[in-house]
Amino acid sequence: MGALELREKWVQSISTVDERFLRMVDALYEGYFKNETVAFHPDGLPMSRKEYKTALSVAEKQIEKGDYISVEEFEKEQ
């Protein structure tokens, strides 16, 4: 089934599906056309998969260098 046939199928069936299905398709659509949000920055802004992988890489390098503080030190700063 090609793109044209799939579009026609969806146009005909869109009014028959329930809200749960529509929400799942909407989430899939948003993730396909946008940078899928997989996490959030400390300021609350969404983080794409690429940004998340970059942040993990930076964090791993900081850990390897010993550039971190203990939980106790963190709690003292609060």
* Cβ–Cβ under 8 Å, residues 52 and 38: yes
Q: Which tens digits make up the pLDDT trace of 19-32? A: 888 888 887 777 66
Residue 15 CA to residue 7 CA, distance in Å, equals 14
- Cβ partners under 8 Å of residue 77, min gap 6: 69
Is this prediction's pTM over 0.75? no
Q: Which residues of 6-19 are buried (b: 16+ CB within 10 A; e: fewer)?
A: eeeeeeeeeeeeee
Q: Which tens digits make up the pLDDT trace of 29-58? A: 776 666 677 888 888 888 888 889 999 999
